[in-house]
Amino acid sequence: MSTRPALSAPTTLRHARILGLGAYRPERVVTNEEIIQHIDSSDEWIRQRSGIVTRRFAREDETVVDMAEAASRQALERAGIETGQVDAVIMATVTHPFQTPAAAPVLAHRLGMEDPAAFDISAACAGYCYAIAQANDMIRAGSADTVLVVGVEKLSDFTDKHDRGSAFIFGDGAGAAVVGVADRPGIGPTIWGSLGERADAITQRESWTDLRPAMETSGRAEPLHWPAFTMQGQTVFRWAVFSMAPVARRAVEAAGITPADLDAFVPHQANMRITDAMVKALELPEHVPVARDIAETGNTSAASIPLAMSRMLEEGEAPHGGLALQIGFGAGLVYAAQVVEMP
């Protein structure tokens, strides 16, 4: 009887942390006055409803890979990491306009990486936190030493400017994090999950395959509509307010700390009213600064958390090396939260 050989595998887990952050905001600033040219609304209504004053839109010829490249180069420089040291690239996005190839391998090539693992994930506004969790697990298990995580969206490509419920919310941008090996825990346990029964709360209006019959039918009476994203605002608001605070609390507890130990709270920049409600539900101490990047950047989905954290660090609102609670939630419905040590 032959003896089956045993497979080799890492025997000990390592620690990981974020080594550097990068951010990219497109040049074009879009005011509420420009948005209301296409919807029945007002600057005051948008501010009261969402907290958004301006947002950024990318140029027509500016792609998610372009924005991701700018954010990634900044993150790598700040982390002191050469492109050749990166073992894997994870890109969180729902607005890369190609089913295949993924954006991550294209980005890796742009950055001059020779042969990294590279893939995209689709977890909408929770995508960055999902990708941080994956990068942490890869490093802890030994399948990578350095991982580039990017959250990037060009939501202006998939926003119906005439949709009063969503036209004022979304913006474009990219945020990147370099995650590497550490001598102490720098990323806490991730609390995540999904509620697929509520998939229609935030969704693409039509599937790509639904467009084929319409495009192939000549002389159609009805115009062909672009499959923009739609959202049931009140449904999402109630879910985020009442369901996400307990998730955030569990992430803090899983990290072995209390809210008073936090140096920053960086929620997904979905809506200022949602953020305010979560702060109240968490009973967050007044000394903990809260990210409110949405006022000037809008909701940038997977890019919102790294963009917001980068701003807090750059402006001195949050301390380098401090502990931050980050939580993303959105279409799926999906969510993820973890406590991280800021770079």
**Contact indicator for 242, 208 with CB cutoff of 8 Å:** no
Buried b (16+ CB within 10 A) or exposed e, 179-199: bbbbeebbbbbbbbeeeeebe
Instruction: Give the Cα separation of 335 and 242 in Å (integer).
Output: 13
Catalytic hit among 32, 136, 271, 299: 299
90 forms bridges with which residues in the sheet? 119, 149
Counting every residue written for the chain, the total comes to: 343
Q: Is 125 a catalytic residue?
A: yes
DSSP letter at 244?
H
Give the dihedral of Cα atoms 35, 171, 100, 195; nearest 10 deg: -100
**Angle at Cα 153 formed by Cα 170 and Cα 238, nearest 5°?**
45
Give the dihedral of Cα atoms 222, 227, 233, 235; nearest 10 deg: 100
- Non-local (6+) Cβ contacts of 77 within 8 A are 20, 22
Single-letter code of the amino acid located at 213: P
Q: Which two tokens stand for residue 279?
A: 């702060």
Instruction: Give the Cα separation of 165 and 152 in Å (integer).
Output: 22
**Angle at Cα 335 formed by Cα 95 and Cα 190, nearest 5°?**
115
Q: Is 299 a catalytic residue?
A: yes
Catalytic hit among 96, 125, 129, 136: 125
Catalytic hit among 32, 96, 136, 268: 268
Task: For the chain, give the longest Cα–Cα distance.
Answer: 79
Active site residues: 125, 268, 299
